[in-house]
Amino acid sequence: MNSPIENYQKYKWFLTSTKKLVIGGKSAEQNDEILKHLKSKKEDYIVMHTHAPGSPFSIILAPIEKVSKSDLEETAIFTASFSRAWKLNKKKAVIDIFKLSSLSKSKLMKTGTWGVKEKLSSKTVELALVLTKQNNILRAVPEKSAKSYLLKIEPGNIDKTKIIPEIQKHLPKINKEEILQALPTGGIKIIK
């Protein structure tokens, strides 16, 4: 996989159903790191963020003209599901979509904050993910991104650290650390 970001696995990431790599920061610092790095490459990408604060900046690492409707939908669900909305047990979130070239950062802006010149669109998506293997690593991804999946989850009331034994009943060969790395922050409800 040819990626403009080396070591993409240190970020939140998944592969869309059309095999596009999507990455997002796990923190405000990582969001800045990714966006600054990509801005320096002088290529343009589709970027998403929740309308409300507290989400990764998710970037589809493919030429804009190659991004499909399904890539947009799946990335919007991913962005919403790894945002504060999941932690707040919301069922839906509004996602803003823009081009990387519309983003700017001044020295006065705090870490993780970027200015947006022009928004392409917004879309409301439901928060729900499935656990599947991508590149032999357990990932929590939008259902359409997985050919098959092991378990379906949505925001819930059981803390992710406490639901691990229940998840391991369904996924006995996967260790606790790998499951924790894959899950969004906040409560989890298993749908199956």
Element (H, E) at 60: strand 58-60
pLDDT digits (tens, 9 = 90+) for 72-108: 999 999 999 999 999 999 999 999 999 999 998 888 8
pLDDT digits (tens, 9 = 90+) for 165-175: 999 998 888 99
Is residue 63 over pLDDT 70? Answer: yes
Tokens of 155: 């925001």
Burial class (CB in 10 A: 0-12, 13-18, 19+), 2: exposed
Range 129-148 average pLDDT: 95
Burial class (CB in 10 A: 0-12, 13-18, 19+), 140: buried
Q: What three-state secondary structure class fits 52?
A: coil
Is residue 46 over pLDDT 60? Answer: yes
How far apart CA 139 and CA 157 sit, in angstroms, is 21
What predicted TM-score, i.e. pTM, was given to this entire model?
0.93
171: left (phi over 0), alpha (psi -120 to 50) or beta: beta
How far apart CA 26 and CA 180 sit, in angstroms, is 13
Would you kindly state where each structural domain of the chain is located, as residue ranges? 8-126, 129-190
Place 4 in a pLDDT band, splitting at 50, 70 and 90: low
What is the structure's pLDDT at 18? 97
